[in-house]
Amino acid sequence: MGDLDDTVLSKCGTPTYKRVSRWFYDDGYSDSYLIIHFGGGGEFRQRVIRIEVVNRRAP
């Protein structure tokens, strides 16, 4: 797994979207990131309801 960058991309109530950079670095997806949809609170300790993978550039 790559480094965890919990910078908030967008926060308008819940869910909260956070960036996970370099997650797919070993697979060549250096520009990929995850959009994590939280059930509430906007903290990583909260329940994750959905994870969306966004590939900005193909390997």
Q: Read off the amino acid at residue 16.
A: T
Q: How many CB atoms lie within 10 A of CB 26?
A: 10
Residues 8-47 pLDDT 10s: 444 333 444 444 444 444 455 445 556 666 555 545 555 5
Within 8 A by CB and 6+ apart from 53, the residues are 32, 33, 34, 35
pTM of the complete model: 0.27
Instruction: Report pLDDT for 40.
Output: 55
Predicted confidence (pLDDT) at residue 53 exceeds the cutoff of 60: yes
